[in-house]
């Protein structure tokens, strides 16, 4: 019934007028009741009443209350969000109206008899308005929950996030099949939050779930660490609870009304990684704020997140370079929207350039005209199997493209150059890894150039990046399986995209003469365990609902990834998550010989295996004679 009334076009159009009329009706009823009480519950004799004076009194009351209601915007409030703020606003509005009418009565009529009516009517008006709103809220809650297939639910986390989520579950029709039972919280056991009891801590969850027949668990702990989330999620999975999570946010209220936070199924990205990294803000700010920053490969997974993180430090200008026009355009539009909505400093100049790092003249021209202070180099071909089939493309882009950017930086006196590398560059067995190792070698021989400070940042797999294993597993699960893994014993390191980008910014401060910074990737993850957990998080049972199939290592793939080369001297930086490998002594003339040999080979027809062998020989310091 309520749904029909409140979805009616007439109501939607004249909602504020209707609510105002209802409130004024309650004012009228309050004055009638107050006058009746003042008249000792007797029906007054109206024969001697001056009709003109009576209408003037009523009109005065209505005008005073109407002006006050509009001043306090009572007609704009949403009744389903009635709470302390609304109680204060209604009480203040009625209080102002009462004091105004009392003043009018004393000044013009000198009647204490009617003053008591005004005062009593004010109290009755507040009570009526609050009770009508509370009744509406209870009706909405009853209508939402009055349906079949009700699921008992608990909220894990009884802080601000849990409080807001409880209100959302009570009032949002999207959750009409959810019946909230109570909270679970490690710090507030047996307290009351929003009328519900904190039934126990997370370690009591098995008993609580059994006693109250819980079917759904909502995790509402925005401040929880990844380790805490993993423990809670594993516990919920073991109890076969449908598990959802309230995503992180900074502001709990918007215009006095709780925000509708996204509540989603818990995903593997919520459980892996370490969350936001603690950066030394002053160090990062010292070389980014009010500077001109350029990012190559800006449209990619890492490049775009680098741009977002850089914007937070308010550069003077951000130059985004990529050959992928669609990705670059969408990122530019994102920043334009952020400026419009006040989420980004409007004074930051954002420029986009379509250019390939393979084209030295294009990169040189951009740097010459825009004069960047810092260049982050994220452009690269990275997909291992694709590079195995066309090694020459990896060489053109990764090796010669990086060489172009480095030379353009030195020629245009860019003060700082930071390159994104990969763990696959360590003792590589594939073309992609070999090309990235060559870029590290090129960087190191150019490190002591007297103009540009240089460094590379080496890390492993990034969660959610284009082509990473997690989106592939998700797609396979959506299609009903099977989930394919290369080997049941394969292990990988994972880091979230924001984590990686934040650490790259921090490592950039330490850049000097071609150092290679290695990020602490945390605990390694067994891919088989990852696949099983993702299947369970999707509501299925591994090997029963969705099978996991081993397909063997792909061309060039290693069983275990490494982050350090043999012979590299590693030491800690000020940041516990960043280590530095001092540059290995590499002769620049050797690198130039390798580049010349690769350049000549690009004009020849060679099988993929020969390209691969040539690269591996070069990075291991073998000569170029037989490739000359």
Q: How far apart are CA 147 and CA 107, in angstroms?
A: 58
Q: How far apart are CA 183 and CA 585, in angstroms?
A: 60
Strand order in the sheet with 453-459: 349-354, 317-322, 292-296, 374-377, 416-422, 453-459, 513-519, 578-581, 570-572
Nearest to 375 by CA among 403, 351, 408: 408
Nearest to 309 by CA among 355, 367, 374: 374
Q: How far apart are CA 396 and CA 518, in angstroms?
A: 25
Instruction: Give strand pairing partners of 519.
Output: 578
Q: How far apart are CA 439 and CA 399, in angstroms?
A: 6
Instruction: Respond yes or no on whether the N-terminal peptide bond of residue 482 is cis (omega within 30° of 0).
Output: yes
Q: Residue 626 is encoded by which pair of tokens?
A: 């037989």
Total residue length of the chain? 628
- Is the CB of residue 555 less than 8 Å from the CB of residue 388? yes
Active site (annotated) includes residue 179: no
Nearest to 162 by CA among 208, 206, 199, 210: 199
- In angstroms, how far is CA 508 from the centroid of its own chain? 24
Nearest to 208 by CA among 193, 220, 190, 192: 190
Catalytic residue among 244, 424, 436, 533: 424
Q: Residue 198 is encoded by which pair of tokens?
A: 């904190």
| Distance, first Cα to last Cα, the chain | 85
Residues recognised as catalytic: 424
């Amino acid at each position: 019934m309520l749904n029909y009334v409140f979805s009616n076009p007439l109501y939607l159009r004249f909602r504020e007028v209707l609510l105002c009329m209802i409130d004024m009706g309650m004012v009228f009823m309050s004055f009638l009741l107050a006058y009746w009480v003042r008249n000792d519950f007797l029906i007054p004799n109206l024969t001697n009443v001056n009709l003109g004076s009576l209408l003037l009194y009523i009109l005065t009351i209505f005008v005073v209350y109407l002006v006050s209601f509009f001043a306090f915007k009572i007609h704009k409030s949403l009744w389903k969000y009635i709470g302390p703020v609304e109680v204060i606003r209604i009480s203040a509005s009625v209080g102002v109206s009462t004091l105004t009418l009392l003043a009018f009565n004393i000044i013009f009529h000198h009647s204490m008899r009617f003053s008591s009516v005004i005062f009593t009517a004010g109290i009755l008006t507040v009570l009526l308005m609050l009770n009508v709103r509370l009744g509406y809220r209870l009706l909405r809650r009853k209508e939402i929950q009055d349906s079949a297939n009700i699921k008992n639910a608990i909220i894990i986390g009884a802080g601000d996030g849990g409080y807001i989520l409880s209100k959302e579950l009570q009032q949002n029709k999207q959750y009409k099949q959810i019946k909230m039972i109570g909270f679970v919280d490690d710090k507030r056991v047996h307290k009351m939050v929003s009328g519900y009891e904190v039934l126990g801590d997370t370690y009591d969850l098995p008993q609580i779930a059994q006693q109250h027949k819980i079917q759904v668990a909502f995790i509402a702990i925005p401040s929880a660490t990844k380790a805490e989330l993993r423990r809670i999620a594993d516990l919920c999975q073991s109890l076969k609870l449908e598990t959802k999570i309230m995503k992180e946010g900074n502001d709990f209220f918007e215009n006095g009304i709780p925000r509708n936070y996204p509540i989603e199924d818990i995903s593997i990205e919520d459980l892996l990684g370490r969350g936001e990294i603690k950066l030394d803000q002053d160090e990062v700010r010292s070389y980014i704020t009010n500077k001109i920053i350029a990012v190559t490969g800006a449209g990619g997974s890492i490049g775009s997140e680098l741009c977002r993180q850089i914007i937070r430090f308010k550069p003077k200008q951000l130059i985004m370079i990529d050959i992928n026009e669609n990705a670059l355009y969408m990122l530019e539009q994102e920043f334009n929207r952020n400026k419009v909505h006040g989420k980004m400093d409007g004074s930051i100049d954002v420029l986009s350039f379509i250019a390939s790092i393979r084209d030295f003249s294009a990169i040189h021209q951009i740097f010459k005209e825009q004069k960047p202070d810092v260049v982050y180099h994220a452009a690269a071909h990275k997909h291992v199997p694709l590079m195995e089939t066309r090694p020459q493309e990896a060489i053109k882009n990764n090796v010669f493209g990086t060489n172009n950017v480095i030379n353009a930086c030195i020629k245009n006196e860019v003060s700082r150059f930071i390159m994104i590398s990969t763990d696959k560059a360590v003792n590589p067995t594939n073309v992609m890894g070999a090309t990235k190792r060559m870029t590290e070698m090129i960087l190191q021989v150019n490190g002591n150039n007297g103009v540009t400070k240089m460094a590379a940042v080496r890390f492993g797999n990034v969660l959610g990046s284009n082509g990473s294993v997690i989106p592939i597993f998700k797609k396979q699960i959506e299609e009903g399986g099977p989930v394919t893994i290369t080997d049941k014993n394969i292990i990988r390191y994972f880091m979230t995209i924001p984590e990686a980008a934040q650490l790259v910014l921090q490592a950039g401060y330490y850049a000097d003469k071609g150092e290679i910074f290695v990020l602490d990737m945390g605990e390694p993850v067994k891919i088989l365990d990852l696949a099983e957990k993702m299947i369970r998080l999707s509501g299925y049972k591994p090997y029963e609902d969705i099978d996991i199939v081993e397909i063997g290592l792909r061309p060039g793939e290693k069983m275990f990834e490494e982050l350090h080369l043999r012979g590299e001297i590693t030491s800690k930086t000020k940041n516990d998550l960043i280590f530095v490998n001092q540059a290995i002594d590499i002769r620049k003339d050797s690198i130039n010989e390798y580049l010349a040999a690769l350049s000549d080979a690009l004009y020849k027809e060679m099988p993929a295996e020969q390209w691969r062998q040539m690269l591996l020989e070069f990075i291991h310091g073998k000569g170029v004679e037989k490739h000359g």
